[in-house]
Amino acid sequence: MDGCVVSVSRDGAHRFSKQPVEAISLIEGLGVEGDAHFGKTVQHRSRVAVDASQPNLRQVHLIAAELLDELVEQGFDVKPANLGENVTTRSIDLIGLPRGTLLHLGREAVVEVTGLRNPCGQIDAFAPGMLKAMLGKRPDGEIVRKAGIMGIVLRGGEVRVGDAIGVERPPEPYLPLERV
């Protein structure tokens, strides 16, 4: 076990925050059953407006509980599911994973990491100033996006709070995560 599931959530409507639940069902090639972002093609409204036929590389959104802890320490009132994630994890450096990493969630589910969530202005609508807190800079000046990662479901299964998460990195050379 590399990490664990702290919280799972879904929402059938396109709202910023999701609803915490005891378990979610991941469906191969589609995403989180009962979630507004469920589907083979892109479901995020801004991306649908550009090209609704794009593949859905954002079927599952994962955020590290450590990010939430950091935001709480900075004075923000934020809990799992508030930032629209489907899975809140602990003990995995999500944004440090290479593209193509496989996350084994619970007994059966496998999610392939496709890229970074790009923090957007909706974060400041949720909590003024939070967007800036979710962006950092590396020593070389490159922006660090801390808003979690996105993935696609390679193998379905149920994911519950407390489930183990195994991390399987792809063969080297590793490809860095980019916005999807």
Distance CA 151, CA 167 (A): 13
Domains by residue range for the chain, with CATH? 3-168 (2.40.33.20)
Report d(CA 120, CA 117) in Å as an integer: 9
Tell me the three-class secondary structure of 119-160, residue by residue.
CCCHHHHHCCCHHHHCEEECCCCCEEECCCEEEEEEECEEEE
Rounded CA separation 25/106 (Å): 11
pLDDT of residue 50: 77
Residue 85 CA, chain-centre distance (Å), reads 5
pTM of the model: 0.94
pLDDT, position 138: 87
In eight-state DSSP terms, residue 99 is B
pLDDT band at 46 (very low <50, low <70, confident <90, very high): confident
> pLDDT class for 85, splitting at 50, 70, 90?
very high
Other beta carbons less than 10 A from residue 74's beta carbon: 12
Check residue 111 and give its pLDDT.
Answer: 98
